[in-house]
Amino acid sequence: MRTIGVLGGLGPAATVDFLDQLVRLTPARRDQDHIPVLAAFRPQVPDRSAAILGLGPDPLPALLEGLHLLERAGADLVAIPCNSAHHWHAQLCEQSAVPVLHIARACVARLRQPPGAAVLVLATRGVQRSGLYRTALREAGLEPVEPDALAVQHDVDRCITQIKAGEPAAAAHSLSRVLRQAAGQGLSCVVLGCTELPLAARRCDPEGLTLVDSTRALALAAIEHALAEGVA
Amino acid sequence: MRTIGVLGGLGPAATVDFLDQLVRLTPARRDQDHIPVLAAFRPQVPDRSAAILGLGPDPLPALLEGLHLLERAGADLVAIPCNSAHHWHAQLCEQSAVPVLHIARACVARLRQPPGAAVLVLATRGVQRSGLYRTALREAGLEPVEPDALAVQHDVDRCITQIKAGEPAAAAHSLSRVLRQAAGQGLSCVVLGCTELPLAARRCDPEGLTLVDSTRALALAAIEHALAEGVA
């Protein structure tokens, strides 16, 4: 078995959720069946979304520092449970000696939608600007949809901030408005393209929508990679 | 702020719970307020309880390897969310350049019981044999009580195994029998002296007992240490 490196703390609750999924989704009956993991919580990395929007310092040096720490400590692959950080995925891969998984590609790979289906992407403003899911969905022959009203993006932002502030009930309230609006628009599939959102979504009525959890998709990709590499 | 090293994966679900407590109990409104953490999940470390009972290989070399990995990666203190591993606490401290917290002492320090009060200790057979809580409770002027019937320890063992196997509902069922029996005996305070037990206890009726969670106590001790060191 290979060691999964986790460049985390972006934010901390989302990283705990990622690790929780990793443990739950690994086929194991006892401790020794589980996959070794090295998780670096680096919460001081500058805000990713703000940087993409040109409103804050560049997080790339801090992300590279975390990546190299994981490599030196023995990680055989790296997962980053933060969608916005994937704006720098190409630069991270260039400087990495080990594979760095891509959360948006892992997430889109798990969609079971007919060709051309509309998929609503909920994410930070930074991820929307970077086009992370726009690109991945189009490559998969699907039609990315972004929140059309500023009020909806405002509720997404609020939900993320509330999870980071340790207020999951308030976060679920914010996300509920977004999901009701999406269902009312006739959408049927929603990508939770920020790792804080699943923590709120689990407390929401899904309103009949298919919610696709990017944290869970990344955890499944990491497990597949770690176990497959172990066999090889 | 200092970096908290976590020698974990013993077992994996308990380590996720420890990290969850660490994040929830840290006073923080945004990512950057949180404490840096390095968590090494080393689930291949040999079974601690079996080793104490002379029934399995010595885990000390693997524990030291994990400890040194955390030191090299920049941990300023180390927490081990596994009670049984603390049988080797003195040896780990001797070979460590950074402080290694002691889960049983952290747990007993949080008890609010009158002098001489009886405290039931639920733990692995290894921890009972090692006397980890017996010593810590006596030093605090409290009266340690161990399960008097073999059937009760059997239910504790079963609960731990079920959490490790990813069966929390079954684990809660096993622990419920133990708590009912303790309440029936007239006990009022129970130490959950194995980090798997709180994961089951949260699904149980506490039967009016005060349940003291060793995982939470270790998380609080780690936060206090990390923040105090940061101020100094």
pLDDT single digits (tens) A56-102: 999 999 999 999 999 999 999 999 999 999 999 999 999 999 999 99
By the 8 A CB rule, do B208 and B7 touch?
no
CA distance B163 to chain A (A): 9
Question: Which residues contact residue B114 at a Cβ distance below 8 angstroms, ignoring those fewer than 6 apart?
Answer: none
CA distance B19 to chain A (A): 6
Is B140 a residue whose pLDDT tops 60? yes
Q: What is the reported pLDDT for B231?
A: 45
Enclosing H/E stretch for A118: strand A118-122
Q: How long a stretch of residues is chain A?
A: 232
Nearest CB to A13: which of B23, B29, B42? B23
The parent domain of residue A112 ranges over: 105-214
Residue A209, φ and ψ in degrees, nearest 5: -85, 150
Question: Which residues contact residue B212 at a Cβ distance below 8 angstroms, ignoring those fewer than 6 apart?
Answer: B107, B110, B111, B119, B189, B190, B191, B192
Residue A74, φ and ψ in degrees, nearest 5: 110, 15
A35 and A15 in a common domain: yes
A180 and A87 in a common domain: no
What is the mean predicted confidence (pLDDT) over B102-114?
97
At B50, the pLDDT band (50, 70, 90 cuts) reads: very high
Residue A148, φ and ψ in degrees, nearest 5: -90, -20
Q: What is the reported pLDDT for A232?
A: 39
Report ipTM for this prediction: 0.96
Chain B positions touching A76 (Cβ under 8 A) are none
The runs of H, that is alpha helices, within B26-59 are 48-52
Of A133, A162, A163, A127, the residue nearest A51 (C-alpha): A127
Contact B12 A32 (CB under 8 A): no
Tell me the whole-structure pTM to 2 decimals.
Answer: 0.97
Percent of residues, chain B, with pLDDT higher than 70: 98
A225 and A188 in a common domain: no
B164 and B73 in a common domain: no
Do the bridges between strand B37-41 and strand A37-41 make them parallel or antiparallel, or are there none, so unpaired? Answer: antiparallel
Is A158 in CB contact (< 8 Å) with chain B? no
B139 and B91 in a common domain: no
A120 and A67 in a common domain: no
CA distance A131 to chain B (A): 24
Is A17 a residue whose pLDDT tops 60? yes
What is the mean predicted confidence (pLDDT) over A180-203?
97
The runs of H, that is alpha helices, within chain A are 12-25, 48-52, 60-72, 89-94, 103-109, 125-130, 132-139, 150-164, 168-184, 197-201, 214-231
Q: What is the reported pLDDT for A229?
A: 52
B220 and B209 in a common domain: no
A198 and A110 in a common domain: yes
At A105, the pLDDT band (50, 70, 90 cuts) reads: very high
Nearest CB to B34: which of A12, A20, A47? A12
Q: A92: left (phi > 0), else alpha (psi -120 to 50), else beta?
A: alpha
Is B194 a residue whose pLDDT tops 80? yes
At A28, the pLDDT band (50, 70, 90 cuts) reads: very high
B196 and B109 in a common domain: yes
CATH number of domain containing A87: 3.40.50.1860
A122 and A98 in a common domain: no
B89 and B9 in a common domain: yes
Enclosing H/E stretch for B168: helix B168-184
Contact B10 A23 (CB under 8 A): no
What is the mean predicted confidence (pLDDT) over B191-217?
98
Number of domains in chain A: 2
Contact A37 B37 (CB under 8 A): no
Average pLDDT for chain B: 96
- For an interface test with B, which of A6, A7, A23, A26 has the most B Cβ atoms less than 10 Å from its Cβ? A23
Is A10 in CB contact (< 8 Å) with chain B? yes
A110 and A36 in a common domain: no
Chain A positions touching B34 (Cβ under 8 A) are 9, 11-12, 41, 43
Contact B16 A19 (CB under 8 A): yes
